[in-house]
Copies of this chain bind each other. A is one copy, B any other.
């Protein structure tokens, strides 16, 4: 059973649900736009379903619904935005203009978001930076669910890394992946369905490899790509944690104190101006990048963002999104009577 609604309704409903439950208008708009974009691109796990999670987290008393982000011009290459215990998305929207300006003026710059709750995919943010003609990298820790290579206990978060490369006259080259072997939500889905998980995703609480989703949730997840993925996850943990003066995934987990709320930590976004880095011949070097993409596509391989762009085109074509009917009902139930 599914329900199809228009894109406009999806956005307006999202804003209304958030406002009706106590979020300020600014926060509601920033959160709703990202949830809407994910639904439009058929990322069900980060789409309208997240409205339930946002309201749940707010009701658990963890996240601020209305804190105004505090922006500071911390250095030539650093914009710092203190989210003050609210979700990250308004902080990103408010910090982005200065990030863009700084990276154009100095060649590159970073946006450090501190003290934020974080639930969202990173690609909507770096797509917005690529839309300004800039290369973007984003990363965050999460809760300490993931064991380091050779270990058995959670230390890292699922630590996503996202990258965007602007393309002339087209959608940017974008990837956004967790450095854990699988998303935590995927293990949870296997658990609910009573299905075994593949080997290599997790260990049980005693550190033994497991294909039991329940045992995996009680144990630790593993990184993708063995020791290399583990090293990459450590880099993300350090750069989007201590480097910006914010929590490790271990600290986010401890701070949660068993509430099961959204992780609370920082986020690091780096923007680079390709015109500065490429030099005066920049169109030639942009063409080089296009030649790389062609060499990938011409052999039948896909660019990382291709599937998402296809979904987006479908949604924009029909002007609608389709979600489970039960989810639609649950969302409507969150509106003020």
Contact = CB atoms under 8 A, between A and B. Distances in A.
Contacts of A78: 107-108, 276-277
B77 A77 contact: yes
A113 interface: no
A92 interface: no
A135 B282 CA distance: 28
Contacts of A272: 110, 243
Contacts of A289: 238, 241-242
A296 B248 CA distance: 13
Given A77-B108, A107-B110, A150-B300, A292 B135 contact: no
Contacts of A137: 235
A59 interface: no
B110 A234 contact: no
Nearest to A231: B175
Contacts of A224: 225-226, 228-229
Interface string A122-152: 0000000000000101000000000111111
A246 B285 CA distance: 7
A316 to B, nearest CB: 25
A248 B76 contact: no
B234 A232 contact: no
B228 A177 contact: yes
A164 to B, nearest CB: 10
A32 B80 CA distance: 42
Interface of A: 74-78, 80, 105-110, 112, 135, 137, 147-153, 155, 161, 163, 165, 173, 175, 177, 179, 224-229, 231-232, 234-235, 237-239, 241-248, 250-251, 272, 274, 276-279, 281-282, 284-286, 288-289, 291-292, 295-296, 299-302, 304
5 contacts: A75-B107, A78-B277, A163-B231, A173-B234, A175-B231
